[in-house]
Chains A and B, each alone.
Chain A
Amino acid sequence: MKPSPRILYIALVSLAAAVAAIGIAAIVLAILGANVFDTFKVILTEPLKDIFGITEILVRAIPLILVGLGIAISFRSGILNIGAEGQILMGIIAAAATAIALPGLPKIVLLPIVFLAGALGGAVWGAIAGYLRAVLGVNEILSTVMLNYIAAQLYGFLLRGPMIDPAELQTGSGTPQSVRLPRSAWIDRIIPGTRLHWGIAVALVLAVLVYILLWRTTWGFKMRAAGAGAKAARYGGIKVEQCLLMAMVLAGAFAGLAGAVEVTGVHRRAIEGISSGYGFSGIVVALFGGLHPAGIVPSAFFFGLLLIGADMTQRMMSIPANMVLVLQGAVILSIISAKMVINDPYAFDKFSRALSRRRKKDESGKTTGETA
C-alpha cells in the first residue's frame, strides 16, 4: 500500500521545514558550542514535564490570546494595527488606577469594573489611530507605532511620578511601580502555589465571542468585507470608515483588557516591563493562528511553550536567552514557510505529477521499491 500523495507531500514538507529549523539552529549553537538536539528537547519538552511548566505556559498564553484576538479583528477589517503594545500599557494604567481608587468595593463588583476600565483605556488609544485613519487617512502603521512610544513614556512617567508607590518615596529606593492593588481587585488563582489564574477562562470565552462576532453577525460581516475589499464594501453600502474605527476600538479594548488581566492576575501592581512585548508577540500569534480564534488559542499556547522553553534552556543549557530567541525565530519561520508550501495547490500539483511519473517508471522497471 503506497501512501497518498497528499500525506507524503505534507510529510516531506514538514521534514524539510524541521531540517531547515534545526540547520539554522545548528549554526547558532555550534558557535556557542552547545548540542542542537538536547537544546531543542529542552525548549519543546522540558516545560511540559511538570505542573509548574504547564501552568506558566498558560499564564503566558492568556495575554497572548487576548492581544491576538484584537489583532485578528483589526487585521480582518483591513487595518494593520501594530499598536497593541501601547494599548496594553494604557489598559494597565486605567485598570490599576481604577482598582486603587475603589478599594472598598467587593470583588464581584470591582473586578468587572477594572476589566472595563482596562478595555476602555486600550480602546481610547486604539480609537485615536482608528480615527486618524478613517477620517484623515493617516497610515495606521505610522500612527500606532508612534502611539506606542507615547504610551511607553506616559507609563514610565506615571510610575515614576503621580502613580508611584508612596512607600518607594519614603524608603528612597524609588522603584518605578504603583502600590499593590487592593485584594478585591485580584483575579483568583486556579491552582494554589502556581500563578495560573482565571484570566484563562476570560480569554477562552472571549475567543468564542470573537468568532461569533466576526463570522456570525452582520457587524463582523461588514468588518470582514471592509477589510477584504474596501471598494467593494463601500459599493455594497457599507460605511467602511465606521468599520475601521470600530475595529480599532475593539482591537484596543482587547489589548487593554490583556493589560488589565495581566496586572490583576499576575503582578497585582503596575510595574515596568509588565507587557514584556506581548503587544508584538500577539501579532505573530494572531498571524500564526491564521487570524482565526480557533487558530489563535493553540498558537498562543505554542508561543507560551517557546517562551518558557527559552527560560529553561537558559538555565539548564547555559545558553543566553537572546540566543534562544534566535532559535524561536528559526522555528517560527520554518513552520510558516512549511504552511505556505503545504497550502500551495500549484506546488502540490507539481509534486503529485512528478510522483506519479516516478511511480509509473518504478512499476515498469520493477527494480526499485518505494524511495520516499
Chain B
Amino acid sequence: MEKEKQVPVVEMRSVTKTFPGVIANECVDLSLYAGEVLALLGENGAGKSTLMNVLCGLYRPDEGEIFIRGKKAEINSPRDSQRLGIGMVHQNFKLVDSMTVLENIILGMKDQGFIPDMKKVRAEVATLSEKYNLSVNPDASIWQLSVGEQQRVEILKLLYRKAEILILDEPTAVLTPQESQELSKVIHLMRAEGKSAIFITHKMEEVMTFSDRVMVLRKGKVAAELSTTSTSPRDLAKLMVGREVLFELEKKPFQPGEAVLSLEKVCALDDRGLPALKDVSFEVRKGEIVGIAGVAGNGQRELAETITGLRKLTSGSVRIQQKDVTNAKPLTIIKAGVAHIPQDRASVGAVGDMSVASNLAMKDYRKKPLSIGIFLLPQQILSMAKKLINAFRIATPSPETHVKFLSGGNIQKTILAREIGACKNLLVAVYPSRGLDIGATESVRKQLIEQRDKGLGVLFISEDIDELIQVADTILVMFEGKIMGSVPAASADPEKIGLMMAGVSQLQNEPTDIRQGVIPS
C-alpha cells in the first residue's frame, strides 16, 4: 500500500483536549486514508471516544488542527462534521425511542423541508438497506427493535447522510458473533467503495479481523501505530495495557455442591407486557458458575430481575437455598445473601447523584456497623468506603465524589465492590465486563471465579462466548426467553453456541438467520 503518497481524508495534528483536572488527549496525531479501516485501540479512559468526539464536532480541541481531505477544517458542531462527510455511531445510540426508523433517519436533517417527502425517503432507505445488506423494518419504532437492529439504523442514518468517513464507537459490544460478522461485511463493502472507517474497540480479535491499520492509545497519548498484518493480539494487549496480560485464568477443579438457586418453569413479562421468559428451568449449585449465553434482549435482564425480586413472575417458582422466594421483595432476596450486578449500571446499579461512599453503603446501610437503629454512622461508612476503594482500585478523587463523575469502568468497580461484599450465597452478574477494558475485565473474571472457588453459586450472563467458555462451568443458551440447551463449558464449541444464540437448536441441521423472524420482506 502506498499510503504515504496519498492525501489522508482525515488528518488530526497534535490534538490536545483537557477536561477539568484530566488530560483526555495529549498531542495526538491521527491520519486516515480513503478506503482504509483504522482501529483505535485502548483501555477505558485512554481517550478514544474523546478523540472521536473531537473529530465529529461534539468537543472542541484545546489545541491542534484537523485537516479533511487536505484542507484545514473548523469543526464546531456535529452539523459541521456532517457537512464534511463524517458520521459517528455512538456507544449509546442516539435514537429517539418513540419514533420510527424512517423518522430517526431524517431526524435533524435541514434539507428535508418542513414536510418531508416520506415516499422518497423510504425508497432511498430501501436502496441503501439492500445495497449494504442492512435490513430493518422502516416503520418499526426504535423501542421495538433489538440492539443489533438499532445499530443498523444508526449506520443507515449515516449512509443516508452520505457519510464518507464512519466512526464506530465499540460497535460489536452489543452484537452476537454472527452479527459481528455481518457488520464486518458491511464495513468491507463500504471500504471497497472508497469510504473509510475508524472503529473504537478494546478487543484484540476485532482489530485483527476488521482493520487495516491500528493505533493504540494509552493515557491520552499515542502508544503505537501499526499495520494490522504486522502485529498480534498479544503484542497489542501489551501495548494497550503497558504490561503483560494474562489470557488464562486459574480455577480450582469443578466440584459442585447442592443447589443454591433453582428455577422451575419460570415465566415473566418484559416492560412492554410481552412474554420475556418462557418456562425457564435450571439450577445453580455451590461452587459452580452457570453462564447464560445469548444475544442481549432475549430475556437475560428479565431473568436476573425475576431472581432478584425486581420483576414479578407470572408462573413458576424460584428457590434460593431450598427456600421458596417466588415473587419475594428485593430486600428479602438481598437478605438471603444474593448479590446482583445489574445490566444497567448507571441507573440501576448506582445512584449517580450520590457519593461513592453512599453507593457502597447502598445495601449494608441498614446494618451495623454502618448504622445503629435509625442513625447512620458517617465515619464508619467513610472508612468502609476507603477500604473498598483501595481494595478494588476504584479511581475516584474522594469517597465523597458523586458516582456520575466516575468513568463507566469505575462505576462498575464500585458496584462490584459492594456486591462481592454482600454476596453470601449467590452472585447474579449481568454483562459484568461489558465495556470494560482488558485490565478491568481480567479483575471482574477473577472475582467471579474467586466467588465460585469460595463455594458460592454464580449466575453469569454474558454475550461473549469466549469469555463464557473461559469463566463458566456450565453454559446455558437463551433465545427468545427460552433455554435452548445446556453444555459443559469444558467441551463447548463456540460455533454451536453461536448457532443456538441465533435460535437454531442443536437438533436442527439447517441454520436459519435470526433476523428473518423480525423483518417483514
Interface residues of A (CB under 8 A from B): 215-221, 224-225, 228-229, 231-239, 345-346, 348-349, 353
Q: Is B363 an interface residue (CB 8 A)?
A: yes
**CB–CB A228/B365 < 8 A:** no
**CB–CB A237/B334 < 8 A:** yes
0/1 interface trace, chain B 54-67, chain A, CB 8 Å (1 if under) = 00000000100000
Q: Among the listed B19, B62, B352, B363, which residue makes an inter-chain contact with A236, where contact means beta carbons less than 8 Å apart?
A: B363
8 cross-chain CB contacts under 8 A: A218-B365, A228-B353, A229-B351, A232-B362, A235-B330, A235-B340, A237-B331, A237-B363
**CB–CB A225/B362 < 8 A:** yes
**CB–CB B20/A218 < 8 A:** no
**CB–CB B376/A346 < 8 A:** no
Q: Is B457 an interface residue (CB 8 A)?
A: no
**CB–CB A235/B375 < 8 A:** no
Interface residues of B in 371-387 (CB under 8 A from A): 371, 374-376, 378
With both beta carbons as reference points, the residue of chain A lying nearest to B353 in the complex is identified as: A228
Binds A, one of B217-225, B249-257, B342-350, B448-456: B342-350
Instruction: For the complex formed, measure the closest distance between the CB of B402 and the CB atoms of chain A, giving whole angstroms.
Output: 9
Q: Among the listed A219, A224, A348, which residue makes an inter-chain contact with B374, where contact means beta carbons less than 8 Å apart?
A: A219
**CB–CB B376/A218 < 8 A:** yes
**CB–CB A236/B362 < 8 A:** yes
Q: Is B189 an interface residue (CB 8 A)?
A: no
Residues of B within 8 A of A224 (CB): 354
Instruction: For the complex formed, measure the closest distance between the CB of B81 and the CB atoms of chain A, giving whole angstroms.
Output: 21
Residues of B within 8 A of A353 (CB): 62
Given contacts A225-B362, A348-B20, contact A232 B376 (CB under 8 A): no
**CB–CB B350/A229 < 8 A:** yes
Instruction: For the complex formed, measure the closest distance between the CB of A354 and the CB atoms of chain B, giving whole angstroms.
Output: 11
Q: Is B366 an interface residue (CB 8 A)?
A: yes
Interface centre among A231, A232, A239 (most CB of B within 10 A): A232
A88 to B20, CA, bound (A): 45
Q: Is B310 an interface residue (CB 8 A)?
A: yes
Q: Among the listed A221, A225, A231, A238, which residue makes an inter-chain contact with B347, where contact means beta carbons less than 8 Å apart?
A: A231
**CB–CB A228/B371 < 8 A:** no
With both beta carbons as reference points, the residue of chain A lying nearest to B330 in the complex is identified as: A237
**CB–CB B366/A232 < 8 A:** no
Q: Is B358 an interface residue (CB 8 A)?
A: yes
Residues of A within 8 A of B378 (CB): 216
Q: Among the listed B20, B354, B376, which residue makes an inter-chain contact with A228, where contact means beta carbons less than 8 Å apart?
A: B354
**CB–CB B375/A217 < 8 A:** yes
Residues of B within 8 A of A228 (CB): 351-354
Residues of A within 8 A of B375 (CB): 216-218
Chain A interface SS verdict (over half): helix
**CB–CB B374/A218 < 8 A:** yes
A243 to B146, CA, bound (A): 35
Residues of B within 8 A of A216 (CB): 375-376, 378
Residues of B within 8 A of A237 (CB): 329-331, 333-335, 363
Interface residues of B in 316-366 (CB under 8 A from A): 329-331, 333-335, 340, 342, 344, 347-354, 358, 361-363, 365-366
**CB–CB B351/A225 < 8 A:** yes
With both beta carbons as reference points, the residue of chain A lying nearest to B352 in the complex is identified as: A229
**CB–CB A218/B352 < 8 A:** no
Residues of A within 8 A of B376 (CB): 215-218, 220-221
With both beta carbons as reference points, the residue of chain B lying nearest to A232 in the complex is identified as: B351
Given contacts A235-B310, A237-B331, A237-B363, contact A229 B347 (CB under 8 A): yes
Instruction: For the complex formed, measure the closest distance between the CB of A360 and the CB atoms of chain B, giving whole angstroms.
Output: 14
With both beta carbons as reference points, the residue of chain B lying nearest to A235 in the complex is identified as: B348
Interface residues of B (CB under 8 A from A): 18-20, 62, 308, 310, 329-331, 333-335, 340, 342, 344, 347-354, 358, 361-363, 365-366, 371, 374-376, 378
**CB–CB A346/B20 < 8 A:** yes
Residues of B within 8 A of A239 (CB): 329, 331
Given contacts A219-B374, A349-B20, contact A234 B310 (CB under 8 A): yes
Instruction: For the complex formed, measure the closest distance between the CB of A6 and the CB atoms of chain B, giving whole angstroms.
Output: 12
Residues of A within 8 A of B335 (CB): 237
Q: Among the listed A225, A229, A234, A349, which residue makes an inter-chain contact with B19, where contact means beta carbons less than 8 Å apart?
A: A349
Instruction: For the complex formed, measure the closest distance between the CB of A232 and the CB atoms of chain B, giving whole angstroms.
Output: 5
Residues of A within 8 A of B365 (CB): 218, 221
Known A221-B376, A231-B348; further 14 A-B contacts with Cβ < 8 A: A217-B374, A219-B374, A220-B376, A224-B354, A225-B362, A231-B347, A235-B340, A236-B330, A236-B362, A237-B333, A237-B335, A345-B20, A346-B19, A349-B18
Instruction: For the complex formed, measure the closest distance between the CB of B474 and the CB atoms of chain A, giving whole angstroms.
Output: 26
A276 to B331, CA, bound (A): 45
Residues of B within 8 A of A221 (CB): 358, 361, 365, 376
**CB–CB B371/A232 < 8 A:** no
**CB–CB A232/B374 < 8 A:** no
With both beta carbons as reference points, the residue of chain A lying nearest to B374 in the complex is identified as: A217
A221 to B351, CA, bound (A): 12
Interface centre among B334, B342, B376 (most CB of A within 10 A): B376
Residues of A within 8 A of B374 (CB): 217-219
With both beta carbons as reference points, the residue of chain B lying nearest to A227 in the complex is identified as: B353
With both beta carbons as reference points, the residue of chain B lying nearest to A217 in the complex is identified as: B374
Residues of B within 8 A of A234 (CB): 310, 330
Residues of A within 8 A of B362 (CB): 225, 232, 236
A339 to B350, CA, bound (A): 27
Q: Among the listed B62, B310, B349, B371, which residue makes an inter-chain contact with A218, where contact means beta carbons less than 8 Å apart?
A: B371
Q: Among the listed A217, A219, A232, which residue makes an inter-chain contact with B348, where contact means beta carbons less than 8 Å apart?
A: A232
Residues of A within 8 A of B344 (CB): 231
Residues of A within 8 A of B334 (CB): 236-237
**CB–CB B350/A232 < 8 A:** yes
A235 to B378, CA, bound (A): 22
**CB–CB B330/A232 < 8 A:** no
Instruction: For the complex formed, measure the closest distance between the CB of B444 and the CB atoms of chain A, giving whole angstroms.
Output: 19
A237 to B342, CA, bound (A): 14
With both beta carbons as reference points, the residue of chain B lying nearest to A344 in the complex is identified as: B20
Residues of A within 8 A of B348 (CB): 231-232, 235
Residues of A within 8 A of B342 (CB): 235
A186 to B54, CA, bound (A): 67
Residues of A within 8 A of B308 (CB): 235
With both beta carbons as reference points, the residue of chain B lying nearest to A212 in the complex is identified as: B375
Residues of B within 8 A of A235 (CB): 308, 310, 330, 340, 342, 348-349
A309 to B58, CA, bound (A): 46
Instruction: For the complex formed, measure the closest distance between the CB of A225 and the CB atoms of chain B, giving whole angstroms.
Output: 6
A249 to B456, CA, bound (A): 43
Residues of B within 8 A of A349 (CB): 18-20
A348 to B362, CA, bound (A): 33
A40 to B335, CA, bound (A): 60
**CB–CB A233/B331 < 8 A:** no
Instruction: For the complex formed, measure the closest distance between the CB of A80 and the CB atoms of chain B, giving whole angstroms.
Output: 16
Residues of B within 8 A of A219 (CB): 374
Interface centre among A233, A236, A237, A349 (most CB of B within 10 A): A236
With both beta carbons as reference points, the residue of chain B lying nearest to A348 in the complex is identified as: B20
